[in-house]
Structures are given as C-alpha cells and as structure tokens.
A and B are shown apart, each in its own frame.
Chain A
Amino acid sequence: MSDGAKHVPSILSTRWDLADGHTLGRYLETGGYEGLRRALSAMTPDEVTEEVKAASLLGRGGAGFPAGVKWGFVPPGVFPRYLVVNGDESEPGTYKDRVIMERDPHLLIEGALIAAYAIGAAQVFLYVRGEMALAQERIAQALNEAYDAGYVGQSIMGNEDFSVDVILHWGAGAYIVGEETALIESLEGYRGFPRLKPPYFPAAKGLYMQPTVVNNVETLADLPWIVSEGGAAFAALGAEKSLGTRLFTVSGHVNRPGVYEVEFGTTTFRDMLYGERYGDGIRHDNRLKAFIPGGASAPWLFEEHLDLPLETGAVGAAGSMLGSGAIVVMDDTTDAVKAAWRVVRFFARESCGKCTPCREGATWLERILRRMLDGYGRPSDVDKLLDICDNISPQITWPPKQTTICPLGPSAVSPIASAVMRFRDEFFAYCGGGEITVPVHGKAYLSTPPAVGASQ
C-alpha cells in the first residue's frame, strides 16, 4: 500500500496507542459513549438496526454473516432475549478481539449496549476466552467504571426505559466454544458441544432456549462509529461486499507482526506482508513460502496470491477464506511437514469429540505426520493423508464439504491438503523419497529444531 492511498478513518484502533485508553476517563475524552447517547436520544431500536443494515456490516468472527440481518431473525414479542458477546477468540493466529478488549474495553461495552438497545435485550453475556487474563482484567475494570458512571445498569444515561446488565463469563479454554451454539452450551454450564441446527438457531432458541444474538467483539466495536457517523459512511469504505474497515492480524515470519486496521476489500496481501505500515517484509529478506490468509483453518495461499485484495469474495474464489482475519506468514525456511503437523495437532486436540471423522481423523492425521517427522514415514503415507482428508472432507473442495456436523473437521484438512498438494516432495523426502530440500536459514516458527537433522 502506498502512502498516497485515500484517507481511511480509524474506527477501531484510535485508542490503542494511548497508555490509558482503557480507562473511562480517557474514553470519554476521546468521544466515548457518544454513539450510545445518540442511539438512545435520537434513534429508535429499529432505526439502529436499519443503520447497521445500511452499513452492510459483516460479522467479524469468521463466518461473515451480515450483523443487521442476524438481529432481524429474533422473533418479535418473545422475551427475555439475550445478547451474547463472543470473546472466545481462539483461532490460531487471531488476536484482534483480545487487543480491543485490552486496549479499548469501553468501545466493546458501548457497542454491546447499542446492540442490546437495537434488539431489546436487557442482559448481555460477555464471554471472554479463559486464557486472556489481561483482557479479563480490563473488561472487568471497565465494566465497574461503566456501572458506576451509569452507562450500564439501571436507567442507562438517565433513560428510564433502558436498563441493561452485563454478565461476564470466563471461558475454560476450548476452541470449539468459539462456535456460537457451543458457546451457548458453555455459558449454560454444559460441555461445549455444538448444538444441532435446526432447531437450535440461536436467534430463535439460544441461551436458556430464549432468542439470542451472538456477535463477535470486533463486530460490536464497530457499532458506536456506525451509529455516530452513519451506516452509509461505513459502507462507503471497502469494496464489493467487504465494506468498512477491518482488523487483520499478521503473524509469523514478518518483520512487524501485529494487528492492523485497514480498509476492508481494497488492501492486498502484498500490502499486509510487505507494506511498511504493516508486516514490513519477510524476516531476513527470505522468500515467502506460503501464508495462511484467514486463521489456521483456512487453506494456504502462496506467492501468486499476494496481489489478491483482502476481500471475502476474491479470497473465496482463490480457494481459501479471510475467516477471522489472521494472516500467518511462512518463509522458505519453513518445513511444510512440520507446519502441517503443527496446525493439525491443534485441531486434533481441539476437536470436541462429537463426530467420528473429526475426532478420529484429525488425530490420525496428526499421528501420521508425527511418525513421518520421527523418521518412520512410508511413501504410501502421503496418499493416505490425502485419503483420510477426503474421508473428513469429501473431494477436498473449497468451500469444503464435510462428513461432520460443524466445520472443525474440514479445518484440520485444509493445512494438510494445502501442504501435501503443494509440497509433496517434502513429504516424500521424509518417507525416504529423497533429500529434504528446505533451506534452513534460522529457526522456523516451530520450537523444535528444524528439519535438516531429520533426514533419514
């Protein structure tokens, strides 16, 4: 991205550089709770919903469902209804929600209140991932401040018709609970198993079998700006169906890993990896080997995809997804087998255990790869890997088909299928099929020693 690009407003990241951006005082000094004030004083709930629809705000959790439309699914006249904030950000490589909750927790609270106003909820359940200690602390502090100042609780901002309680809930550390129905189960105190849809679409039968809207942290954090500046202003940013700004996290072998707010749909991967303001190039000026465009469950992309815009449709057409906006960069020192093993190990551990193909298949894949890395691979293992993938996600297509209930099964397939298809030689090399050709310039992101010594 050149410095001559049009001015893009900062919607989400304005307070991140402030040391006290998480405090109520600073938040109010920098225009905080004005969106809520405007919503309460000048807009009906329906007008708020219409504004969000006009903004074409897509859910930022990964699935990208339009937020305004989701609110509209709540059946009229059924109370109580709940807003659940999905702060169980667990996708490997993704840490945007954590930064919002740590650096600007009031923004999330304000957004949640606006959403609660729009859908008519009097209770907001804020589910924060169990491992995010600082985020939990900051959210709790912010909530106390907000209660004391009358932004949360009874008669918010003096408005007698609007009272909302926010209930904090810390997760217990399960990836699957990022799935909204599993999150609801977890909130209710049960094991985090996804519910069957139908009939348990949360909007109709969610938390405690009441209508429930589940929104991602970043999605809600966009709301104060949308309400203040108007949905049209938000929709004026971005391209195609990817409108507004969006947070992307860049990690892996770049010089400047971090969370960056960019205009959605126009910025390219090349900008994110190489732009000075973003990734600032591959470390040691190494060559790019592959990158994951949207969290660990996304199929890998390669050098030829660098000029794709960060736009949902374009990335989908290329056979992957933007997902949760997590870009993980692998340079050419990366051992594809190890990288694939590392990713699939995550999914094998995090499979909830419900569906056979995911529970057994992901672990089997992990163990075959581990065996390869240990030097006991067989050439037949390579096709076996793909065939096991095929049994979890038939034909290994994109978007994926699946033999499982939820998409966690195919998520384990993506990295392996990408790695095996693209770097087949490396896999064969581990199976006695030849030298391992990965040049080693330094440590890969794996903690174990790189692959040279493993050549059998």
Chain B
Amino acid sequence: MTDTADTAREAPTGPSGRGSGEHVVTVTIDDRAITAAKGELVIDVAERNGVYIPRFCYHPRMRPVGMCRMCIVDIDTGRGPALQPACMIECSDGMIVSTGSPATRKAQEGVLEFLLVNHPLDCPVCDKGGECPLQDQTMSHGPGESRFVEEKRHFEKPIPVSDLVMLDRERCILCDRCTRFASEVAGDPLISFIDRGNDTQVNTFPGEPFSSYFSGNTVQICPVGALTATPYRFKARPWDLDEVESTCTSCSVGCRVVIQSSRNQVLRYLGVDVDAVNWGCLCDKGRFDFEAVDSSERLGGPLVRDEGLLLKSATWNDALGRAAASIKDGLERSGPDGLAVLGGARLTNEDAYAWVKLVKGVIGSDNIDAQLGDGLPAEAVLGLPAATIDDACRPGGTVLVLGPDPKEELPVLFLRLRHAVLNDGVKIVELASTATGTTPLAAHSLRYHPGHALHLMRALLAPTEAEDEVAGVAPEAIAAAASLLAERPVTVVLGRPNQAEGARSIAAAAKLINDAHPRVRFLSALRRGNVRGALELGMTPGVLPGRVTFRDGRDWFAGHWPTVPETKGLDATGILRAASEGRIDTLVLLGADPLADFPDRDLAERGVAGARTVIACDQFLTESVRQADVVLPAAGYAEVDGTTTNLEGRVSTLARIVTAPGTSQPTWTVAADLAFRLGADLGLESTEQIGREIDAVAPAFAGLLHDLAAPGGEDGVLVSLPARRNGETPDEPVEDPSAEPAAAATDPGDADPETTEPGPTEPGAVPGATESEASPAGPRPGIPVPDWRVIDPPLLDAYSLRLVVTRRLYDRGTLVQHSPSLAGLAEPATLRLNPQDFDRLGIVSGDDVRVTSSRGHVTVSTRPDAAVPRGVAALDANKAGGRANVLIDANTPVTDIRVERP
C-alpha cells in the first residue's frame, strides 16, 4: 500500500473522465479479446483485465507523460507491431497489444537496466526497500544483472527540500511524478527538473523550499526511495509494519488512510485512493500528525483536583466517582439544565451517541454542543440540502465558497476543487473578506466587508437591482458572479469565513440562496473531524440522533430512552454565558479546548471559571483541561474502533491498531460508567453494539451497517441524504447498479422538496418504510431551517479596522503542537494589513503594534499583505504571539479594532 496506484480499488476510468465516452472498442491484449471504452489508455485496460504492464511515471490520477518508457509494449494498430508506451496510447478498435513479445521484453529489460545504471542500489539502507516499485519490477521485468561497470552518478546524499521531505537525487529515476504532482495536482510548482542529460535532477529553486501543504503525497507516490518523509525515515522496514485501513479525522474531509504501526507505535499514514473523497491524497497535517498519537504528553491516567487545588493522579474509580458525585449534586441543585457538555467533534460516532444518550436520554439536559461557537448554527448544517464532494466537482457547476479557505482548513477538498476547476469546467465564486489560498482558483472572488455577507448574497441573487457597491463589491463584479450562480447548479461550500464575523449572517445568506435558487446544495465546511457526525447524532441543542427534531422524534426516542429533554437547550455560546453567570453546575469538556478555540476568549474564560465543576475527557492537558476538576484520559485516534462522518455526511470506519497510553479509555465508556454511577444503564457495551443501536434508533443512520458491509461500503456510506431515511437502502431506488449509491438523490436537479421545505412529515408517506417490515418505523430525518435574525453591523469608524480571523493549517492546535515535525511549521501570529494602511496608521512593517478591541487587546507584529483590503486587518486564529480570540466579542456581528504603536 505504498502507492496510490496500487491501492486504487476501482479505476475503470481515469480522473479526467478518460474513457467515459460511450464508444466501445475491442482490443486484443495478449491474445485475449477485451472490450474497452474508446479513449481508455492501454495500460489501464490491461491492468483491469489482469495484465500488469510495468510502469514508473504513469499514475492514474495524473496526466501521462511517457517519460520512463517502462510501459513500452508492442502495439499493432494495423501498421504492424511497434513499441509504444502503453500509458500514452488510447485503445482503438482492432488494436493488438502484446505485453510479452520478445521485442517488448527486450525493450523493458533495456529500460530497467538503464534505470539501474545510475541507481545506487542502496536498498539495505533505503526506507523504500520492501515496498519499492523499482525493486519489484526489477525482479519481475528486469534483465537480472547489470552490465554497468562505470562509476555511478553522484549527488549529495539526501538534501532537505522542505521541513518534511528529504530528497536523495541518486536514487531518483526522474519519473516526474513528484514534480507533476506539485505543479499539476497541488498547484505548488516548487520542485522541478534542473540541468540536462545525465545531470538532470529534481530540485527546488534557490531559496524557495518545497513548502507545500501536500508535500507528503510526493513521498507516497515516489516509485523509489528518492523522497522520504522526515517523520518516518529509518523508523521501520515495510515488512515489519502492521496496517489497518481507517479514516483520517484531522479535518472533516474524511480521507481514507492506511495506518501503519510497528511495536504498538503508529509510524505512518498513507492515503488510500477513494473515488468519492481523497483520490489517494492526504494533506501534510493529516499525514504527519500521527506523531501526536504517541506523544509523551498524552494523559495516561485520570487526574482529580485536590483540596490544595492541584491536579493529582487518581484512580478511575475515584475520578469517575468524583465526576458522578458532582453531576448528582448539580442535578439535585438545578435539575438537568445545570449540566452542559462542550465538544465531541473529535470523537467517533459511537462516542457521540453514547454521550448524547447519557445527556439527553438519561439526564435530560439539552445543553450540549459539539461546536465551539466557531462554526455555524446546526440547523444550517443539518437542514439545508446536502451536497457531496462529487456534487461540488461535477462538470458544469458553480461552487460558491462562503466559508473558510478550503486550502487552509480542508486541504484535500481544495485539491478536489482545484482539479474540478482546471479539468471539468467548474467555476468558483468566492465570497471572502481577504484573498485566500483558494482565490487563484476562483472565477470571481468578491471582497465583501466583514459582516455583510447577507447583503452581498442578496445582491448576487438579484443583481439587476444593484447599481452601487454592495458590501464593498462593485456592481460589475456582482453581475459577473451572479450570472455564474444563476445559470448553473450551485454547490455552496458553507462554513464560517471569519471567526470575528457572526455566524448568523452567514447562515441567513445560505438560507437566502436556498430559498431563491432552484438548484443549490450545501457542503458543510466545518473543520473538526467528526463535527458532522456529532451534529447528526444530536450533539447540538434541539436535535435527536439521526437528524430529527424534538417534535418529530420525541415519541420515537421516548420508546428507546429513559427520557427526552423537554425544551431546546443552549449552544456553546449559551452554555459559556450561562456558566459565567453561575447557572452551570457541571461542565463536561469532551476533547474541547474552549479557551483556545472559542472565538470569544473572555467569555470562554469566564464560562470555564464559572462552572461549579468541570469534567474533561481529553488526550492532552490543554489550557482548558488544566482548569478541570476531573480529568479523564481518552483513547484517541488509531486506538479505538468505530465510525466517523465526514463533511458530506459520509460514514466510514475508524480502526484501532495500537493500545492507548496508560489507562486511557474510549470516551463512550466514560458515558456508560457515569450513567451507571448515576443509577441508570445506557445499555451500551461495545462499539459494535453502539453501532447497532445507532442503526436501529437514529433514523438517518438506519441501514448503515448493512451498507457499510456491502461492497464499496469501505469507501463510506452517506447518511446525509433524504433517500437514506427509514432504512431505505439507497441502492434500491437507483436503477443502475453501478451508479454511486444515492447518486440519483444527489442530483441537484432532483432535490427532494421535503428537505428544502422541512416540516412535520408523515412517516407512512416515505417509500420503503411500509414495504420492508425490517425497517424501523422511526421519524423521518429533517431539521427545519429557521429564519435567522441578523443584526446589521455598525458603521466602521474612521480610526478602526474591521477584523478578519481565519484559521491556518498549522496553528497551536493540539495535533499540530504535539507532532514535533509539524509544530515548528506554525508561524507566529502576525497582523496583516493592506500596504496602504501602514502610512495612515503611522506604523512600519514588522513593528509590534497594540491591537485593541472592545473586548481586549493583544500586541502582535505586523506585515503588509496586498491580499487584505484597505480598512481590514487579518489575524490568524490560535497562533502563538497574539491570541485573536482575545479581541472578539461573541455578541457582536463584527469586531472592530484599533491599531496603535505600543
């Protein structure tokens, strides 16, 4: 599993839709008549039919270049057999291919001998040894011995091309895979061929390291040991590695990965090629944050705050006892509403369900929020018609980015969008207050004034009415972007573009386009790994597991749970506000660090301090966890089994391969133990059993286990689609069995009116519900989308700048900071201002400035950045040297700041 080409499960068509035409041709490969789509490459057709043609440069996800010449075979197109590269030749009718002819074998042996001429053959000390296509194909297609007696070409042994990747040019066979990936796929053409002839080498340009978010992919696709990743170098031999397939949860894209470990230590992640999601790619954060799994900072046992107010080691029994006692006290004092839970977006679906069952079903509180005030109202995520990544990338569509920069927060989604823009005619309209990493891809990138997203959306939907600037955007730009929206199906990549800008105007803008546009769907761009699953399973106020409202689901869940909350509870902001006012007795933090992540630091501090008891379930002693009274160590990624849900609502499996440190436990067991100590029984005993209960109880998840076990299920199963409800298996209504499950339902032109106009529904009206007796007759999933009340932002006064706070891939987040290879990549906080604003403010680039808002102040250094419009100041969230969330007031729609010399 070293090579995405090898791990591609089904590759009947290439990435660019090659061979998707309807014309069928018959070719003969090694005396077998084979039908192929016209235009398919010989190398693909042969492989699909069990004939492996050796190759180095060819990669099904990149354009063929025909450089290595290894795939040369005898191809006869009517003019007699001729040696031609199978990766370049498209099948044509009557073509005769011979992959084993004497001429073919001579040529292939010749090429392999050439490749080995200058290869150092240092396999015994090479990380690639044992999983090396050059080794393997030398054995299968090589001449057996070399006749080369001259001195080999020499280069300085591995040189760093970036902080993460080392390049050994002696091992390099110049296949162009890494360089092509960098320029063609990632769009970071920072490595290139230099010099000529036998001196040709891959290298970076002087003074410009290969600092790409996707550099690790080049290591994975390198067919030799030329590119190695510093976190893995010399750590293991491939044959000593255990491996298991899982899903990356570093962000919510949900890339499929292989986790490899040796001696109970995770050593490497590799991307798996899943057609619907990641195409074999991973971002560097997702690939290298495995170091955090084995971090020495991991919590190994429970901690309890003693009377001297110090956190001291404790037994699980004592810690859980203390936690249960606090909860019981709180319940006696203030009833269920005194309990609140923050976090859960990093947990598995099973963890999330167990906690929701404890909090909502046993205790009866609805104060639970998996988001930390930095996302969107759950109704916008769950209620708007959902799109898949494939929907967004479908040719001919428009992607409206109204959310965080995909490149920084959801990097592999960025890769998919980039491919769609460059190859499939997809157009991006970006609404952002500063230029982002995605801006170069956008057909139109509209710089709206922070806080005015709704105004801009209104203008985009009725462009003829706009004669003046709207939200700072010129009418011509609005008209141009509006035509792209009006005439094509639209996928909105919806998230929070700016932490310093209220979520409600974004949600209202989304509702506006949903109501106005006939063909629009939404792809949530929330960052945390399982935030979608947590919301789907009810880790948000007003929602019961399986995307049902209290009104629709109360009766159903009353039949499964001891209780159901009476009224809708508090979201993260509400919880922290209530806690700061002394109304929360017990605050549970499930892998949540509100002090770092909640946009309003002041409120977070007061909230955490104001809760009577704080119970934290976490892997690390984060800033917030340090404030807790009871700390329970959680088993984490690669240590637990289960499932996770990506931003599309695609459920895929998580797998355990190492044991958790110390006495860490899966988070769901804490819920089960606490329930027991509170005198109840969750009835949850294992991950599998929780999975079965989710399947049986949570309507949107009905039938999930069946689908996960079905062929193709390992690539994930969508639970976000209307077609899934009530156990209706998605492949039943789809006529073409080869089509992607539920593809028909995802067609933007075929939007289910029930989802766009949610309301009370009749369970009996659902197709499939009455036909199959095995299907549970639960409520149908669906969350109504409310009309959000939006406060217009105040006018910007002449002395202030309006703040934009966005996240970067590398920040002070837990995973990055506990992965030594990544920690150093997080740059310190810098206030970025338009170059023209420097004079006005009387400051000089690089100066430390004092930034003051109504909420607080920080001192940070400054840098001019033309990506930032005048009147706007951009600051990264959660960075060292200046916490942006100190400045933000969660109550206001925008944050205005003053910038002064200290």
Known: A391-B110, A403-B107. A353 touches B69 (CB 8 A): no
Instruction: Flag the segment in A248-256, A276-284, A359-367 that touches B.
Output: A359-367
Give every chain A residue within 8 A of B72 (Cβ-Cβ): 403
Q: Does B7 contact A (CB under 8 A)?
A: no
Please give the distance in Å from B643's CB to the nearest CB on chain A.
44
A196 touches B66 (CB 8 A): yes
Q: Does B840 contact A (CB under 8 A)?
A: no
Chain B CB within 10 Å, residue with most, of A174, A350, A351: A351
Q: Does A441 contact B (CB under 8 A)?
A: no
Q: Does A433 contact B (CB under 8 A)?
A: no
Q: Does A349 contact B (CB under 8 A)?
A: yes
Q: Chain B 524-563 against A: per-residue CB contact (8 Å), 1 yes, 0 no? A: 0000000000000000000000000000000000000000
Instruction: Flag the segment in B188-196, B233-241, B246-254 that touches A.
Output: B188-196
Q: Chain A 217-243 against B: per-residue CB contact (8 Å), 1 yes, 0 no? A: 000000000000000000000000000
A363 touches B107 (CB 8 A): no
Q: Does A299 contact B (CB under 8 A)?
A: no
Known: A357-B69, A364-B114, A368-B150. A394 touches B83 (CB 8 A): yes
Q: Does B173 contact A (CB under 8 A)?
A: yes
Q: Does A401 contact B (CB under 8 A)?
A: yes
The listed residue (B110, B117, B200) touching A403 by CB distance below 8 A is B110
Q: Chain B 173-189 against A: per-residue CB contact (8 Å), 1 yes, 0 no? A: 11000000000000000
B67 touches A355 (CB 8 A): yes
The listed residue (B70, B82, B106, B174) touching A391 by CB distance below 8 A is B106
Give every chain B residue within 8 A of A443 (Cβ-Cβ): none
B200 touches A359 (CB 8 A): yes
Give every chain A residue within 8 A of B405 (Cβ-Cβ): none
Please give the distance in Å from A370's CB to the nearest CB on chain B.
9
The listed residue (B83, B147, B174, B197) touching A401 by CB distance below 8 A is B83
Q: How far is the CA of A360 from the CA of B173 in the complex (A)?
A: 10
The listed residue (A176, A193, A364, A403) touching B148 by CB distance below 8 A is A364
Q: Does B734 contact A (CB under 8 A)?
A: no
Q: Does A437 contact B (CB under 8 A)?
A: no
Q: Does B738 contact A (CB under 8 A)?
A: no
Please give the distance in Å from B143's CB to the nearest CB on chain A.
10
A360 touches B107 (CB 8 A): no
- 8 A Cβ contacts from A307-357 to B: 348-357
* Chain A, Cβ-Cβ closest to B68: A356
B115 touches A360 (CB 8 A): yes
Please give the distance in Å from A176's CB to the nearest CB on chain B.
8
Give every chain B residue within 8 A of A401 (Cβ-Cβ): 82-83
Give every chain A residue within 8 A of B199 (Cβ-Cβ): 353
Please give the distance in Å from B155's CB to the nearest CB on chain A.
14
Q: Chain B 114-130 against A: per-residue CB contact (8 Å), 1 yes, 0 no? A: 11011000000000000
B69 touches A356 (CB 8 A): yes
Known: A360-B115, A391-B106. A191 touches B193 (CB 8 A): yes
Q: Chain B 219-244 against A: per-residue CB contact (8 Å), 1 yes, 0 no? A: 00000000000000000000000000
A353 touches B82 (CB 8 A): no
Q: Chain B 26-69 against A: per-residue CB contact (8 Å), 1 yes, 0 no? A: 00000000000000000000000000000000000000011111
Q: Does A69 contact B (CB under 8 A)?
A: no
The listed residue (B65, B82, B196) touching A351 by CB distance below 8 A is B196
B193 touches A391 (CB 8 A): no
Give every chain A residue within 8 A of B68 (Cβ-Cβ): 355-356
| Category for how many chain A residues contact B | 20 to 34
B114 touches A391 (CB 8 A): yes
Known: A361-B114, A401-B82. A349 touches B148 (CB 8 A): no
A362 touches B106 (CB 8 A): no
Give every chain A residue within 8 A of B317 (Cβ-Cβ): none
Known: A350-B197, A403-B110. A356 touches B70 (CB 8 A): yes
Give every chain A residue within 8 A of B173 (Cβ-Cβ): 356
* Chain A, Cβ-Cβ closest to B143: A391
Q: How far is the CA of A349 from the CA of B198 in the complex (A)?
A: 7
Q: Does A405 contact B (CB under 8 A)?
A: yes
Q: Does B113 contact A (CB under 8 A)?
A: yes
The listed residue (A359, A403, A405) touching B198 by CB distance below 8 A is A359
A-B contact count (CB 8 A): 96
Please give the distance in Å from B304's CB to the nearest CB on chain A.
64
Known: A191-B192, A355-B67, A356-B70. A391 touches B111 (CB 8 A): yes
A363 touches B198 (CB 8 A): yes
Give every chain B residue within 8 A of A38 (Cβ-Cβ): none
Q: Does A287 contact B (CB under 8 A)?
A: no
A394 touches B107 (CB 8 A): yes
Give every chain A residue within 8 A of B82 (Cβ-Cβ): 401
Give every chain B residue within 8 A of A13 (Cβ-Cβ): none
Q: How far is the CA of A195 from the CA of B883 in the complex (A)?
A: 50
Please give the distance in Å from B114's CB to the nearest CB on chain A.
4
Q: How far is the CA of A404 from the CA of B110 in the complex (A)?
A: 12
Give every chain A residue within 8 A of B83 (Cβ-Cβ): 394, 401, 403
Give every chain B residue within 8 A of A350 (Cβ-Cβ): 196-197
Give every chain B residue within 8 A of A193 (Cβ-Cβ): 193
Q: How far is the CA of A361 from the CA of B111 in the complex (A)?
A: 9
B150 touches A354 (CB 8 A): no
Give every chain A residue within 8 A of B193 (Cβ-Cβ): 191, 193, 353
B66 touches A360 (CB 8 A): no
Please give the distance in Å from A240's CB to the nearest CB on chain B.
25
B198 touches A360 (CB 8 A): yes
* Chain B, Cβ-Cβ closest to A354: B67
Q: Does A169 contact B (CB under 8 A)?
A: no
Q: How far is the CA of A403 from the CA of B83 in the complex (A)?
A: 7
Give every chain A residue within 8 A of B331 (Cβ-Cβ): none
Known: A351-B196, A355-B67. A367 touches B111 (CB 8 A): no
B103 touches A174 (CB 8 A): no
The listed residue (B106, B107, B195) touching A353 by CB distance below 8 A is B195
Give every chain A residue within 8 A of B150 (Cβ-Cβ): 364, 367-368, 371
B115 touches A404 (CB 8 A): no
Q: How far is the CA of A176 from the CA of B147 in the complex (A)?
A: 29
B200 touches A394 (CB 8 A): no
Q: Does B88 contact A (CB under 8 A)?
A: yes
Please give the distance in Å from B40's CB to the nearest CB on chain A.
16
Please give the distance in Å from B482's CB to the nearest CB on chain A.
29
Q: How far is the CA of A114 from the CA of B109 in the complex (A)?
A: 51
B197 touches A357 (CB 8 A): no
Please give the distance in Å from B2's CB to the nearest CB on chain A.
21
Q: How far is the CA of A394 from the CA of B106 in the complex (A)?
A: 9
The listed residue (A191, A349, A352, A356) touching B115 by CB distance below 8 A is A356
- 8 A Cβ contacts from B94-115 to A: 103, 106-107, 109-111, 113-115
Please give the distance in Å from A95's CB to the nearest CB on chain B.
22
* Chain B, Cβ-Cβ closest to A392: B110
Please give the distance in Å from A75's CB to the nearest CB on chain B.
21
The listed residue (A348, A367, A391, A405) touching B197 by CB distance below 8 A is A348
Q: How far is the CA of A371 from the CA of B148 in the complex (A)?
A: 12
Give every chain A residue within 8 A of B67 (Cβ-Cβ): 354-356, 405
B107 touches A391 (CB 8 A): yes
Give every chain B residue within 8 A of A353 (Cβ-Cβ): 174, 193, 195-200
A363 touches B110 (CB 8 A): no
* Chain A, Cβ-Cβ closest to B196: A353
Q: How far is the CA of A355 from the CA of B192 in the complex (A)?
A: 16
Q: How far is the CA of A176 from the CA of B195 in the complex (A)?
A: 13
- Give A contacts to B, CB under 8 Å: 174, 176, 191, 193, 196, 348-357, 359-364, 367-368, 371, 384, 388, 390-392, 394, 401, 403-405
The 8 A-B pairs with the shortest beta carbon distances in the complex, nearest first, are A391-B110, A353-B200, A363-B198, A360-B114, A351-B197, A367-B150, A360-B117, A356-B114
Given contact pairs A363-B198, A405-B66, a sample of 10 additional A-B residue pairs in the complex whose CB atoms are under 8 Å apart = A174-B196, A193-B193, A351-B197, A359-B200, A360-B117, A364-B150, A371-B150, A391-B109, A391-B110, A391-B114
21 A-B pairs within 8 Å (CB atoms) are namely A176-B196, A191-B193, A349-B196, A351-B198, A353-B174, A353-B195, A355-B66, A356-B67, A356-B70, A356-B173, A356-B174, A357-B110, A357-B111, A359-B197, A360-B114, A364-B148, A371-B150, A390-B110, A403-B69, A403-B110, A403-B111
